[in-house]
């Protein structure tokens, strides 16, 4: 297998390398790729949708249909991870671990006995021993809100600066994942239940596809945001701009939810009792 | 002459198939068999209703589907097809009656399946008879192979399994390996597959060697015609219940094979084109070889059905020989022999089945004295034998006579001797059976008194076909006229 | 010397994409461990993204966010050659997301495989299957 | 365009790539994959693909690495041969 | 609504997938009706769309209202009009068929299963109708990702084979993506029609040639074309019943469609058949693939695995027929996409019924089945005959065109391979029929497979499975009879006029 692999790789590699000679030079402004289609986007994105970040304009408007399916890909991945991994009924762990917060001592409780889940003094922790680190926990607790605010900024400011629904959604999801890592999976799930993530994922994609379907129902082509003009009471250009914001929001919700969902399932191998 | 549009052909073809759902769903065996009769009768009437217009020289046509502008699935009724359909549909009625007697006497299992596939086989047979082009003919030909498989292997035991395997291997294998490519090559060269009165192969610049190859592929592809060396499925298929052997292996399957060969010679290659190529003589020699070899093998068979099977192989080659000689008389003989041999051979098979049903005996050596117990059956057997040998007063003489005239017409005396030798051999393997059945001393007789004639359901059909064989000697008109008309359209005049 | 350097600069991105791609491909074909195969897959996909992004680059151009896209200057004529080609970027955003989605599914399958067989080595798993 | 940075980063990316598929410790491999992604992101930022770089930084270097580490924790750290 | 058919085919199932997944968390009873309704709507739209395409030759739908090179357009002509009907029909029929199997196999993940199922169908349908090379990649990934997970959850081996499939499939898809990149670098556009319009000036460009080769290599991997077919048999053999009826008939066929689409409408026939001198080599690979696939099928004892090798051979038919480069061969190839989808569906439906009823997958487990389940076997026989290529089933007609294409091109090796494969298929299926027909039913069925609890009574399949099965089996014959109309009214217009 090794030799075969090496042979394949060498043959493919040499072929591909030889053909790079045919490409336009790196950074050549006159390559066909730069001359043909992209000038239209660059020159018209402001005219068409008043979005200075051309990438966002192309992503969510000109090629919005791609992006809808990109969101669907993420959703499909979430569904797939859930479908493959999730186990609903697991046997109760033989022993559970609790931390006595004031003294930072760890208690191991064997079968039967249960400490009050909602107690302020005792906290349930994962069986894979997690050293309690006050600095880590506090820092993370402190920065998570800032991360989330930054994520919202990225989403909302995608029209004018790098960023948008995807990046914002991922950052938002990462903040929840950070919570799960710095404390434990249970803490994250307590904040954002699995069912909520699923519904959010559906809603996120639905916002996107629904906007498109609205345009189709209103008589124009699917995903044509200019139909929003009458609803929002703005002209067609601004309607496109707002439409982009709406679908970016949908994307952000879906991506954030799915990222968290995938993490929940992967980090606990589908049991969702104990994380990393 | 332009063909007339008519829904007659499609109705006729669909009649047997229409009966199948009813057959499957009916729980009561009387209802089921009643339906079989009804379908058989309806089919016969439908075929007969088209007879007058055919005799007037018309051609009826119905296009089922068009594949490409030059290729369609279409049904055409002409004189040759009419002749064959008439034989097949009439004998279905008779065989249905016989089946009832035979199957009930032996208490066979899965009778519903049996009758359903019987009807399907008839559907395919009539389809072949009425095919308007080679493609349609091929479709129904293939369908027939599959529809008969469950009939051949009806007993579902080891023997049936190995025979079924052989049957499929020869029939399906040859058609996939030879027929499809031959058909496609032909189509690629000529751009049509519609039968013409003088074929459609001429004038397309096909290299002669390829033509010979194609002819061979067509003949061997239609392995149902039983020409050597592709004959050994036929004796193997004798494991089937006797009515199946009777209808399918004396009438439907093998006759479909030779019918297709006649179509290839007349409708695909065309007689003029073939005789200009001189390839017909190869075919004639092959047929002659088969005639003699099969007759000799038949002599050595002790199992009655196997002997009949080899006799069939020989008789089929008469038909091929007649077609291959390409003269007016020989072609007439060839077509006529389809009918004559059908009536004769089916009588013989019915008799073999009746003997088996009544006494459980399959081998000839144990049939000594049976004529005294079953005089009617053996009397019919004699008539059938006479017809197959070609002796008066049975219909077989007529076709053989024409065949002899054909060999004279073509100045090929060799084949005349083949025919004579074969007739002698036929007599040698049939007449002793009859003789020993009637003329033997009491102590030689192998039968107890309790062996008696078969029930009326069995005997009736035997009588009908035997009588028909006799009548055809005196009154061969319908078939002779159709055969003459068919030859006339081919050779003109 | 300068010519060679220019040539290297002009093509180095394309060369390295090929190299990376082949690294990934090699890992996917030859490595026995499934996680390593999956890592190889990730590298493989990223290499193609590198290729696309490299095609978008224009010399002396800036990122594709229109300067002064607001207010009164918004209607000023836009010179397309000033900005980097945005289209490959858009495509590659999608490709990155597809990449992480594939990675997630692959890893969950790998976890499942590990739960069943207790190993992630392809040859060991094949041996186990053969023994069954 | 800073081709020097570009070349050096390219070199580093390749080294990280080779490292990620060669180390026997899968956790290390995952981290190297993260480093690879991050360097890639730098590379793209240098090339002016800011949106792509941003996405790669969050998705590739961030979430991908995390789920990779998570998967390694759920399976095994050791890769044979 | 009629102008939105191309969008409806895709969007209705997409929305329904969301609804089905959500319903799985709220009330599971709604999942199935939602799924069926959406796929039915998709099917009806595609039929109407085909009707419209027959009238107007080409339907273009501009997503978001942006015209061709700027935005993404869906372009439906006779070629994909036909394929889309097949895709949606197969997805719909198989869904109805596998309701009980889904309820049995995945009781607690039903909603997710339905959502993945619909998304898979959506992805395939999108791949068929899209007119944008990159959009195709995204949809391909949707179909692949959902496909991996639909495969991955059954017995132990399913997961490993799904993982292997994922790795191979990703290589294929990424190669395709790279090929699109090469096209983009040379032409600067992603719209298929526009690429084709540039192709006449581009035909000597090295990157276009490279793009062609890379795309083709990627697609060959995904469709399991001969030397790259290793992943398919394992992946398909261990796939759950409900999924296999969707994945096996459609994945390879849609990929073959994409190959045809790329060669005809992106790279243009002139380039694909003349400039690039690869077609001869590809036909040769197809010939070897047909023969090897058939022989491997002959060596199998497990009937599901046997079917998978038949798929490998059938891919050889389609690819080989197409690269013959003449009208008959391409017609046969396109016709075979439709026919083979239904034939494969029929086979795997039968396999699903057998797997449920006899709890075994060996051919020897099928003893006496004609007696026990005559209706199922009757339809199965029809499917088998179609694979063999016996008239009047549809399998015969596509083979007819393929062979006549081979004769026209003078490639008698291809003709020989097709006939050889037909013969082998005849042997394969009659071997099964013989076991099921001649050998008496033995009561020991299933004991060693069903883990202790008593063997399930072997009897006729429930109507919920039988009726869809019969719909497919009968459509094999109907499709066969009307294949002439299919060729003259639809497929004829799917092939560029330059090809004779």
Give the Cβ contact number of residue C127 at 10 Å: 12
Give mean pLDDT, residues B121-136: 89
Q: What is the mean pLDDT of chain E?
A: 87
Which is it for strands A95-100 and A122-125: parallel, antiparallel or unpaired? antiparallel
- Distance in angstroms (rounded) separating the CA atoms of residues E465 and E97: 5
What are the start-end ranges of the E strands in chain A? 95-100, 105-110, 122-125
Contacts of D66 in chain A (CB under 8 A): 174, 177, 181, 263
How many residues appear in chain A? 276
Residues near C23 by Cβ (< 8 Å), separated by ≥ 6?
Answer: C40, C43, C47, D14, D17, D18, D21
- Distance in angstroms (rounded) separating the CA atoms of residues E363 and E436: 9
Task: State residue B305's pLDDT score.
Answer: 86
Task: State residue E216's pLDDT score.
Answer: 92
Q: What angle do CA B445, B446, B447 make, to 5 degrees?
A: 95
- Distance in angstroms (rounded) separating the CA atoms of residues B341 and B388: 6
- pLDDT exceeds cutoff 80 at A113: no
Task: State residue E443's pLDDT score.
Answer: 57
Query: Which chains sit next to E, with 3 or more Cβ pairs under 8 A?
Result: A, B, C
Does the domain at residues C2-131 carry the CATH identifier 1.10.287.3510? Answer: yes
Asked if the Cβ–Cβ distance from A198 to E22 is below 8 Å, we say yes
Give mean pLDDT, residues B179-187: 87
Q: Which of A126-140, B51-65, B478-492, E416-430 has the highest mean pLDDT?
A: E416-430
More confident residue, B440 or E414: E414
Q: What angle do CA E480, E483, E487 make, to 5 degrees?
A: 160
Contacts of D51 in chain A (CB under 8 A): 53, 55-56, 59, 162-164, 167
- Distance in angstroms (rounded) separating the CA atoms of residues B492 and B485: 9
Closest CB to D70 among A55, A166, A263: A263
- pLDDT exceeds cutoff 90 at B488: no
Per-residue model confidence as pLDDT tens digits over A73-92: 999 999 999 998 888 766 66
Confidence category of residue A41, pLDDT binned at 50, 70, 90? confident
Confidence category of residue A117, pLDDT binned at 50, 70, 90? low
How many residues appear in chain D? 81
Per-residue model confidence as pLDDT tens digits over B290-310: 999 999 998 888 888 888 889
**By C-alpha distance, which of B125, B29, B118, B116 is closest to B86?**
B125
Give mean pLDDT, residues B422-433: 89
CB A255 within 8 A of CB A203: no
Picking from A121-135, E35-49, E312-326, which range would have the lowest pLDDT averaged per residue? A121-135
How distant is the alpha carbon of residue B113 from its chain centre? 23
Q: Where exactly are the structural domains of chain E?
A: 277-500
Q: Hey, what are B283's tokens?
A: 């075919």
Task: State residue E452's pLDDT score.
Answer: 42
Confidence category of residue E284, pLDDT binned at 50, 70, 90? very high
B&E contacts, CB < 8 Å: 78
- pLDDT exceeds cutoff 50 at E454: no
Task: State residue E446's pLDDT score.
Answer: 45
Q: What is the mean pLDDT of chain C?
A: 85
- Distance in angstroms (rounded) separating the CA atoms of residues E378 and E360: 20
CA distance C64 to chain E (A): 17
Asked if the Cβ–Cβ distance from C104 to A28 is below 8 Å, we say no
CA distance D47 to chain A (A): 9
Tell me chain E's radius of gyration from C-alpha atoms. Answer: 22
- Distance in angstroms (rounded) separating the CA atoms of residues B411 and B401: 15
Domain that residue B303 falls in: 279-493
Residues near B121 by Cβ (< 8 Å), separated by ≥ 6?
Answer: B144, B147, B148, B151, B247, B248, B252, B253
Chains C and E touch, using 3 or more CB pairs below 8 Å? yes
- Distance in angstroms (rounded) separating the CA atoms of residues B484 and B476: 12
Contacts of A33 in chain C (CB under 8 A): 55-56, 85, 87-88
Task: State residue E126's pLDDT score.
Answer: 92
Per-residue model confidence as pLDDT tens digits over E381-411: 999 999 988 877 888 888 988 998 998 888 8
Per-residue model confidence as pLDDT tens digits over E411-429: 889 999 999 999 899 888 8
Contacts of A61 in chain E (CB under 8 A): 64, 66
- pLDDT exceeds cutoff 90 at B360: no
A&D contacts, CB < 8 Å: 55
Confidence category of residue B445, pLDDT binned at 50, 70, 90? low
CB E31 within 8 A of CB E95: no
Q: Hey, what are D77's tokens?
A: 């750290």
Contacts of E134 in chain C (CB under 8 A): 91, 94
Per-residue model confidence as pLDDT tens digits over B54-81: 888 888 888 887 777 778 888 888 888 8
- Distance in angstroms (rounded) separating the CA atoms of residues E242 and E464: 13
Q: What is the ipTM of this complex?
A: 0.86
CB C70 within 8 A of CB A52: yes
Residues 154-173 of A with CB under 8 A from C: 160-162, 166
Asked if the Cβ–Cβ distance from D6 to C13 is below 8 Å, we say yes
Give mean pLDDT, residues B383-404: 87
Flag whether residue E408 sits within 8 Å of chain B, measured between CB atoms.
yes
Task: State residue E448's pLDDT score.
Answer: 46
More confident residue, E51 or D79: E51
Structural element, H or E, at residue B72: strand B71-77
Confidence category of residue C70, pLDDT binned at 50, 70, 90? low
Task: State residue C67's pLDDT score.
Answer: 75
Q: Where exactly are the structural domains of chain D?
A: 3-74
- Distance in angstroms (rounded) separating the CA atoms of residues E114 and E236: 19
- Distance in angstroms (rounded) separating the CA atoms of residues A178 and A183: 8
More confident residue, E204 or B258: B258
Which is it for strands B4-5 and A122-125: parallel, antiparallel or unpaired? unpaired
Best probe of the A interface among D5, D66, D72, D75, by most A CBs < 10 A, is D66
Q: What is the dihedral of CA B370, B376, B379, B385, to 10 degrees?
A: -90
Q: Hey, what are A174's tokens?
A: 């990462």
- pLDDT exceeds cutoff 70 at C71: no
Task: State residue E152's pLDDT score.
Answer: 80
Contacts of E21 in chain A (CB under 8 A): 79, 198, 202
Residue B363 pairs with which residues in a beta bridge? Answer: B303
B453 lies in a domain?
yes
Q: Which of A25-34, C2-11, E387-396 has the highest mean pLDDT?
A: E387-396
Confidence category of residue E26, pLDDT binned at 50, 70, 90? confident
Q: What is the mean pLDDT of chain A?
A: 83
> For residue E191, which phi and psi values (nearest 5 degrees)?
-75, 130
Per-residue model confidence as pLDDT tens digits over E210-234: 889 999 999 999 988 888 888 888 8
More confident residue, E445 or E160: E160
How distant is the alpha carbon of residue E385 from its chain centre? 19
- Distance in angstroms (rounded) separating the CA atoms of residues E459 and E441: 11
- Distance in angstroms (rounded) separating the CA atoms of residues E64 and E134: 16
- Distance in angstroms (rounded) separating the CA atoms of residues E396 and E321: 14
- pLDDT exceeds cutoff 60 at E204: yes
Give mean pLDDT, residues C33-52: 92
Picking from C48-57, E25-34, E352-361, which range would have the lowest pLDDT averaged per residue? E352-361
- pLDDT exceeds cutoff 90 at E39: yes
CB A177 within 8 A of CB A257: no
For chain B, how many structural domains are there in total? Answer: 1
- pLDDT exceeds cutoff 60 at D78: yes
Task: State residue E143's pLDDT score.
Answer: 93
Packing angle between helix E78-97 and helix E327-358, nearest 10 degrees? 10
**By C-alpha distance, which of B447, E13, E205 is closest to A22?**
E205
- pLDDT exceeds cutoff 50 at A108: yes
- pLDDT exceeds cutoff 90 at B452: no
- Distance in angstroms (rounded) separating the CA atoms of residues B384 and B489: 32
Torsion region of A132: left, alpha or beta (phi above 0 gives left; psi -120 to 50 gives alpha): beta
> For residue E400, which phi and psi values (nearest 5 degrees)?
-55, -50
Task: State residue A89's pLDDT score.
Answer: 65
**By C-alpha distance, which of E271, E470, E441 is closest to E369?**
E441
Contacts of A163 in chain C (CB under 8 A): none
Confidence category of residue D29, pLDDT binned at 50, 70, 90? very high
Task: State residue C68's pLDDT score.
Answer: 65
B/e letters for E182-191, b = 16+ CB within 10 Å, e = fewer, are bbbbbbbbbb
Indicate the SS3 state at residue B175. helix
Residues 201-230 of B with CB under 8 A from E: none
What is the CB-side half-sphere exposure of residue D59 using CA atoms within 13 A? 32
CA distance E463 to chain A (A): 29
* pTM recorded for the entire structure: 0.89
What is the CB-side half-sphere exposure of residue E383 using CA atoms within 13 A? 27
Residue B252 pairs with which residues in a beta bridge? Answer: none
Indicate the SS3 state at residue B199. coil
- Using CB atoms within 10 Å of the CB of residue A194, give its burial: 0 to 12 exposed, 13 to 18 middle, 19+ buried: middle
Q: What is the dihedral of CA B221, B224, B228, B230, to 10 degrees?
A: 60
Residue carrying structure tokens 């590809």: E282
- Distance in angstroms (rounded) separating the CA atoms of residues E374 and E458: 12
- Distance in angstroms (rounded) separating the CA atoms of residues E152 and A83: 9
CA distance A264 to chain C (A): 11
Task: State residue E322's pLDDT score.
Answer: 93
Confidence category of residue A48, pLDDT binned at 50, 70, 90? confident
B386 lies in a domain?
yes
Picking from B4-18, D20-34, E183-197, which range would have the lowest pLDDT averaged per residue? B4-18
CA distance A268 to chain C (A): 10
Give mean pLDDT, residues E332-346: 93
Chains A and C touch, using 3 or more CB pairs below 8 Å? yes
Task: State residue C1's pLDDT score.
Answer: 60
């Amino acid at each position: 297998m090794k030799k075969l692999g090496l042979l394949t790789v060498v043959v493919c590699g040499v072929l591909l390398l030889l053909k790079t000679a045919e490409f336009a030079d790196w950074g050549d402004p006159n390559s066909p790729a730069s001359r043909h289609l992209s000038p239209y986007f660059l020159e018209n994105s402001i005219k068409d949708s008043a979005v200075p970040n051309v990438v966002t304009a192309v992503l969510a408007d000109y090629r919005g249909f791609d992006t809808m399916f990109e969101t669907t890909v993420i959703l499909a991945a979430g569904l797939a991870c859930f479908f493959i991994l999730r186990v609903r009924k697991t046997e109760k762990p033989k022993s559970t671990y609790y931390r006595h917060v004031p003294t930072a001592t760890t208690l191991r409780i064997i079968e039967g006995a249960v400490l009050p889940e909602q107690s302020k003094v005792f906290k349930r922790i994962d069986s894979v021993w997690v050293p309690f680190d006050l600095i880590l926990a506090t820092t993370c607790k402190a920065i998570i809100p800032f991360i989330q605010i930054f994520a919202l900024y990225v989403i909302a400011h995608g029209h004018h600066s790098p960023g948008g629904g995807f990046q914002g959604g991922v950052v938002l999801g990462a903040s929840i994942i950070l919570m799960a890592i710095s404390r434990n999976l249970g803490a994250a799930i307590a904040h954002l239940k699995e069912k909520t993530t699923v519904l959010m994922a559906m809603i996120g994609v639905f916002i996107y596809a629904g906007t498109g379907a609205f345009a189709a129902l209103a008589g124009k082509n699917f995903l044509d945001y200019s139909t929003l003009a009458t609803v929002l009471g703005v002209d067609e250009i601004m309607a496109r701009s707002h439409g982009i914001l709406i679908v970016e929001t949908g994307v952000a919700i879906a991506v954030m939810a799915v990222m968290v969902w995938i993490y929940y399932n992967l980090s606990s191998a589908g049991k969702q009792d104990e994380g990393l | 002459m332009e063909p007339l549009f008519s829904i007659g052909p499609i109705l006729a073809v669909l009649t047997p198939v229409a009966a199948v759902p009813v057959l499957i769903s009916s729980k009561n065996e009387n209802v089921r068999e009643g339906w079989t009769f009804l379908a058989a009768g309806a089919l016969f009437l439908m075929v007969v209703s088209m007879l007058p217009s055919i005799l007037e020289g018309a051609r009826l046509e119905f296009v089922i589907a068009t594949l490409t502008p030059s290729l369609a699935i279409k049904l055409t009724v002409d004189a040759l097809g009419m002749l064959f359909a008439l034989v097949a549909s009439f004998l279905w009625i008779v065989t249905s009656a016989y089946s009832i007697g035979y199957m009930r006497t032996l208490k066979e299992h899965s009778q519903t399946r049996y009758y359903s596939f019987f009807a399907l086989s008839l559907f395919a047979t009539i389809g072949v008879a009425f095919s308007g082009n080679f493609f349609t003919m091929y479709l129904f030909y293939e369908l027939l192979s599959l529809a008969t498989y469950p009939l051949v292997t009806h007993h579902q035991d080891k023997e049936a399994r190995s025979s079924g395997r052989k049957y499929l291997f020869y029939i399906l294998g040859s058609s996939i390996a030879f027929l499809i490519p031959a058909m496609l090559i032909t189509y690629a060269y000529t751009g049509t597959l519609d039968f013409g009165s003088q074929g459609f192969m001429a004038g397309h610049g096909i290299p002669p060697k390829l033509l010979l190859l194609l002819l061979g592929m067509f003949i061997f592809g239609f392995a149902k015609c039983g020409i050597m060396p592709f004959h050994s499925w036929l004796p193997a298929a004798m494991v089937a219940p006797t009515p199946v052997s009777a209808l399918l292996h004396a009438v439907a399957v093998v006759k479909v094979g030779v019918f297709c060969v006649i179509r290839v010679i007349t409708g695909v290659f065309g007689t003029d084109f073939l005789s200009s190529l001189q390839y017909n003589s190869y075919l004639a020699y092959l047929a002659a070889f088969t005639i003699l070899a099969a007759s000799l093998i038949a002599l050595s068979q002790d199992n009655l059905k196997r002997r009949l099977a080899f006799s069939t192989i020989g008789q089929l080659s008469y038909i091929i020989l007649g077609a291959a000689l390409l003269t007016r008389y020989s072609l007439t003989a060839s077509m006529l022999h389809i009918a004559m041999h059908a009536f004769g051979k089916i009588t013989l098979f019915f008799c073999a089945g009746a003997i088996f049903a009544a006494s459980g005996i399959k081998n000839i050596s144990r049939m000594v004295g049976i004529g005294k117990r079953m005089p009617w059956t053996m009397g019919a057997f004699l008539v059938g034998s006479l017809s197959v040998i070609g002796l008066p007063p049975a219909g077989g003489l007529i076709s053989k006579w024409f065949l002899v005239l054909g060999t004279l017409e073509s100045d090929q005396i060799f084949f005349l001797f083949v025919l004579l030798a074969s007739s002698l051999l036929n007599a040698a393997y049939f007449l002793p059976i009859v003789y020993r059945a009637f003329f033997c001393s009491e102590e030689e007789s192998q039968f107890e008194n309790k062996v008696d004639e078969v029930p009326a359901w069995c005997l009736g059909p035997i009588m009908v076909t035997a009588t028909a064989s006799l009548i055809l000697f005196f009154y061969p008109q319908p078939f002779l006229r159709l055969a003459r008309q068919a030859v006339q359209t081919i050779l003109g005049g | 010397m300068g010519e060679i350097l220019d040539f290297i600069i002009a093509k180095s991105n394309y060369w390295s994409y090929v190299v990376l791609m082949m690294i990934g491909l090699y890992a996917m074909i030859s490595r026995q461990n499934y996680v390593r195969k999956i890592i190889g897959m990730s590298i493989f996909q990223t290499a193609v993204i590198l290729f696309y992004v490299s095609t978008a680059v224009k010399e002396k151009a800036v990122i594709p966010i229109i300067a002064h896209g607001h207010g009164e200057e918004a209607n000023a004529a836009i010179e397309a050659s000033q900005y980097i080609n945005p289209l490959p970027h858009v495509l590659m955003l999608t490709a990155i997301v597809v990449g992480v989605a594939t990675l997630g599914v692959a890893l969950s399958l790998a976890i499942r495989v590990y739960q069943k067989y207790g190993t992630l080595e392809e040859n060991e798993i094949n041996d186990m299957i053969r023994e069954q | 365009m800073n081709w020097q940075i570009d070349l050096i980063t390219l070199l580093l990316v390749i080294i990280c790539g080779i490292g990620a598929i060669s180390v026997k410790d899968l956790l290390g491999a995952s981290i190297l994959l993260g480093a690879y992604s991050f360097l890639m992101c730098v590379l793209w930022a240098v090339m002016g693909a800011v949106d792509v770089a941003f996405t790669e930084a969050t998705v590739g270097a961030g979430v991908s690495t995390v789920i990779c580490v998570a998967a390694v924790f759920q399976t095994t750290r050791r890769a044979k041969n | 609504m009629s102008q939105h058919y191309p969008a409806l085919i895709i969007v209705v199932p997409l929305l329904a997938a969301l609804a089905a997944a959500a319903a799985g968390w709220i009330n599971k009873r709604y999942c199935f009706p939602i799924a069926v309704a959406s796929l039915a709507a998709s099917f009806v739209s595609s039929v109407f769309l085909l009707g419209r395409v027959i009238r107007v030759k080409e339907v273009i739908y501009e997503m978001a209202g942006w015209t061709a090179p700027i935005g993404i357009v869906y372009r439906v002509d006779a070629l994909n009009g036909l394929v889309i009907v097949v895709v949606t029909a197969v997805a719909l029929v198989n869904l109805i068929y596998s309701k009980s199997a889904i309820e049995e196999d995945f009781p607690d993940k039903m909603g997710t299963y339905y959502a993945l199922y619909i998304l898979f169908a959506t992805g395939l349908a999108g791949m068929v109708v899209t007119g944008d090379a990159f959009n195709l990649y995204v949809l391909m990934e949707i179909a692949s990702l959902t496909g991996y997970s639909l495969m991955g959850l059954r017995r132990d081996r399913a997961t490993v084979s799904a993982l292997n499939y994922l790795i191979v499939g990703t290589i294929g898809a990424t190669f395709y993506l790279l090929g699109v990149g090469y096209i983009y670098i040379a032409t600067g556009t992603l719209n298929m029609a526009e690429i084709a319009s540039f192709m006449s000036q581009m035909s000597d460009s090295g990157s276009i040639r490279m793009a062609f080769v890379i795309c083709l290599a990627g697609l060959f991997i995904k469709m399991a074309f001969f030397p790259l077919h290793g992943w398919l048999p394992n992946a398909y053999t261990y796939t759950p019943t409900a999924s296999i009826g969707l994945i096996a008939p459609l994945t390879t066929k849609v990929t073959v469609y994409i190959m045809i689409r790329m060669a005809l409408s992106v790279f243009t026939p002139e380039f694909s058949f003349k400039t690039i001198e690869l077609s001869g080599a590809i036909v040769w690979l197809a010939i070897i693939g047909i023969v090897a696939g058939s022989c491997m099928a002959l060596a199998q004892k497990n009937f599901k695995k046997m079917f998978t090798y038949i798929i490998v051979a059938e891919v050889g038919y389609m690819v080989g027929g197409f690269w013959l480069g003449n009208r008959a061969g391409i017609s046969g190839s396109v016709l075979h996409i439709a026919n083979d989808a239904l034939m494969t569906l029929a086979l795997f439906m039968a396999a699903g019924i057998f797997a449920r009823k006899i709890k075994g997958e060996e051919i020897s487990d099928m003893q006496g089945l004609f007696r026990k389940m005559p209706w199922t076997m009757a339809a199965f026989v029809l499917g088998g005959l179609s694979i063999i290529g016996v008239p009047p089933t549809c399998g015969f007609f596509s083979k007819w065109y393929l062979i006549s294409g081979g004769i026209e091109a003078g490639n008698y090796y291809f003709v020989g391979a097709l006939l050889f494969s037909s013969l082998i298929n005849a042997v394969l299926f009659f071997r099964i029929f013989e076991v099921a027909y001649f050998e008496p039913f033995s009561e020991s069925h299933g004991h060693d497979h069903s883990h202790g609890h008593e063997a399930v009574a072997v009897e006729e399949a429930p109507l919920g499975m039988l009726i869809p099965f019969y719909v497919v089996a009968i459509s094999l014959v109907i499709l066969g009879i009307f294949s002439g109309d299919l060729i003259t009214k639809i497929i004829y217009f799917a092939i560029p006029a330059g090809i004779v």
